[in-house]
């Protein structure tokens, strides 16, 4: 993914307003900026089909296009195709060198750097938390940013356990009012976990109903809320076709990378 032309994109979406260009430049800078500690982003939803793999894929692309060091993309979702498949990566077996890695080279054993992304799909993901702890946890510290596709997780089963592994949780939901309200109802609970992850709510307009719900939620929320427009280009891991979608992806990636996160 190439870096967006901020001036051209702001003109296409907002017109020629200087304030719009300033906002886009700010988001771009937030993604590129230095981090005091590694940023572990977890993308998850409350129900299947919400678009976690699509959102995770686009965020990975946006971050990788703007940072000089590779992004770690981890896929422990049950969905098909998940993040790894969209990146063209096959499942890999456990590796003793990665598990005891003390250098970046050891952390990359058996993995490939492709277009600024290192994809990791554990061979066994029946236990998402166990797979992440066994395969991803030993190597995330060698990457400034890691993005994990956790797929759908139930609030009463394993949502909290997955969220506790992250510095920042991207909770993905359909942008229609009912599922969005459901997602919003658990945001404070996730943020209130002992690990204190930051939470960003991503509302995907799969039904083409507009961004009214996202804007209403954002107006009264202590947590970032980003509306992601419907875009046929995102199917099967494609690129956005609409400038508004490109804008939303940059905004979402900036919110996730720049989030305060829990204390190191």
pLDDT recorded at residue 18 = 63
Q: Name the helix (H) or strand (E) containing 200.
A: strand 198-204
Residue 94 CA neighbour count, 13 Å, CB half: 13
Among 66-70, 142-146, 161-165, 236-240, which is the least confidently predicted range?
A: 236-240
- Alpha-carbon span 77 to 86, nearest angstrom: 12
- Per the omega criterion (within 30 degrees of 0), is the bond before 24 cis? no
- Alpha-carbon span 172 to 52, nearest angstrom: 6
For residue range 119-144, list pLDDT tens digits in order: 999 999 999 999 999 999 999 999 99
- Alpha-carbon span 126 to 97, nearest angstrom: 23
- Alpha-carbon span 200 to 188, nearest angstrom: 11
Q: Helices 243-258 and 18-32, interaxial angle, to 10°?
A: 50
pLDDT recorded at residue 3 = 45
For residue range 23-43, list pLDDT tens digits in order: 889 999 999 999 988 999 999
What values do phi and psi take at 12, rounded to 5?
Answer: -65, -35
Q: What is the CA radius of gyration of the chain?
A: 17
pLDDT recorded at residue 192 = 96
Please, are residues 153 and 183 in contact by the beta-carbon 8 Å criterion? no
C-alpha closest to that of 252 among 234, 228, 221: 228
pLDDT recorded at residue 23 = 84
What values do phi and psi take at 171, rounded to 5?
Answer: -90, 115
pLDDT recorded at residue 71 = 98
């Amino acid at each position: 993914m190439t870096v967006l032309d901020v001036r051209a994109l702001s003109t296409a979406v907002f017109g020629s307003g200087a304030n719009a260009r300033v906002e886009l430049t700010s988001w771009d800078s937030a993604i590129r900026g230095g981090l005091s500690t590694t940023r572990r982003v977890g993308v998850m939803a409350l129900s299947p089909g919400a678009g976690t793999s699509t959102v995770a894929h686009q965020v990975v692309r946006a971050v990788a296009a703007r940072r000089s060091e590779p992004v770690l993309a981890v896929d422990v979702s049950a969905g098909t195709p998940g993040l790894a498949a969209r990146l063209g990566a096959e499942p890999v077996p456990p590796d003793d060198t990665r598990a005891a890695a003390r250098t970046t080279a050891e952390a990359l054993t058996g993995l490939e750097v492709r277009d600024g992304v290192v994809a990791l799909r554990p061979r066994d993901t029946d236990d998402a938390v166990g797979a992440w702890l066994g395969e991803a946890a030993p190597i995330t510290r060698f990457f400034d940013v890691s993005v994990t596709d956790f797929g759908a997780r139930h609030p009463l089963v394993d949502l909290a356990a997955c969220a506790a592994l992250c510095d920042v949780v991207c909770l993905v939901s359909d942008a229609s009012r009912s599922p969005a309200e459901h997602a919003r109802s658990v945001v404070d609970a996730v943020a209130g976990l002992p690990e204190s992850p930051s939470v960003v709510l991503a509302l995907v307009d799969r039904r083409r109903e507009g961004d009214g719900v996202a804007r209403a939620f954002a107006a009264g929320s202590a947590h970032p809320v980003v509306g992601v427009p419907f875009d046929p280009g995102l199917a099967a891991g494609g690129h956005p076709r609409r400038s508004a979608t490109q804008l939303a992806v940059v905004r979402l990636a900036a919110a996730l990378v720049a989030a305060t996160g829990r204390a190191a």
